[in-house]
Amino acid sequence: MVEFQAVQQRGFHNYYDENGNIAGFEFKFVPRYYKGLWFTQCRFGNVEVDGEVYDRDCISIIYDGIAYSREELFDLKRYWQFRTPIVVRVPKKGGLSVGYHDVVMNFGWVLNYNGALEKEKDGSGLGNMAHMFGTKNERRMLLCR
């Protein structure tokens, strides 16, 4: 079971490197859409926290225990199961402070529904479904550690 919001508070915390230093923060994300998606059709955007932008090419997407870059996911012919969260890992020296944070996950996808086919074949955009479902997923969350 997941929380009803796309950005999940369960799993929101800083993470540590092998020396025990805080190396960044991570949270879970599950699309609001009614179906699962092939990762090849997913279009991951930037992460924003309290207005600060973290570039999509600097974040890692962890699915089933394996970390992928955005670029790698374009070639991952694997199905992202419905209501199964990914972990979004964002490097940031020192991590986030304990307290409330406004987290935004920008995400879109490509699908064969009710709209023009994806125009940006290089995947630089956020897919062809934004006109129906938007791409911005926001949540205010409390970080404890």
Partner 1 sequence: MTEIKKGHPSRGISVYSYQALLGRTMTLDDVFEEMHDTGATCFEFLTSYIEGYPNPSPKWVDHYWMLCEKYHMQPAELGHWCETHLHRGPKMSDEEIVEELKQDFRLANLLGFKSLRTKITCTNVLCDPEPGWQSYIEKALPYAEKYDVRMQNEVHLPTTLHTPHIREEYLDFIRRTGTDRFGFNIDFGTFQTRAAKGMEDNPMFHFDDVSKPEEIVEFLPYCWTCHTKFTYMDENCEETTIPYRQIIKLMIDNGWSGNLVSEYEGVLAYNSDKNIQEFAKAMVGIPEQVRRHQIMMKNILGY
- Side-chain half-sphere of 89: how many Cα atoms within 13 Å? 16
Cα 125 from Cα 36, distance rounded (Å): 20
Q: Does 9 bind partner 1 (CB under 8 A)?
A: no
Instruction: Find all residues with CB under 8 Å of 98, minimum gap 6, and list them.
Output: 143, 144, 145
Name the residue nearer to partner 1 (CB basis): 18 or 122.
122
Name the residue nearer to partner 1 (CB basis): 77 or 93.
77
Residues 53-112, interacting with partner 1 (CB under 8 A): 74-75, 77, 79, 81-83, 110-112
Name the residue nearer to partner 1 (CB basis): 21 or 81.
81
Name the one residue in this structure whose structure tokens are 């929380």. Answer: 3
Tell me the site size for partner 1, rule CB under 8 A: 33
Which of 118, 126, 129, 141 is the binder for partner 1 (CB under 8 A)? Answer: 118
Query: With CB under 8 A as the contact rule, which of the stretches 9-17, 36-44, 53-61, 91-99 interacts with partner 1?
Result: 36-44
**DSSP tag of 132:** H
Nearest to 97 by CA among 9, 25, 32: 25
Name the residue nearer to partner 1 (CB basis): 25 or 109.
109
**DSSP tag of 135:** S
Q: Does 119 bind partner 1 (CB under 8 A)?
A: no
Please give, one letter per residue, the 3-state secondary structure of 47-101: EEECCEEECCCCCEEEECCEEECHHHHCCCCCEECCCCCEEEEEECCCCCCCEEE
Name the residue nearer to partner 1 (CB basis): 19 or 124.
124
Would you tell me which residues interact with partner 1 (CB under 8 A)? 1-6, 32, 34-36, 38, 40-41, 74-75, 77, 79, 81-83, 110-118, 121-123, 132
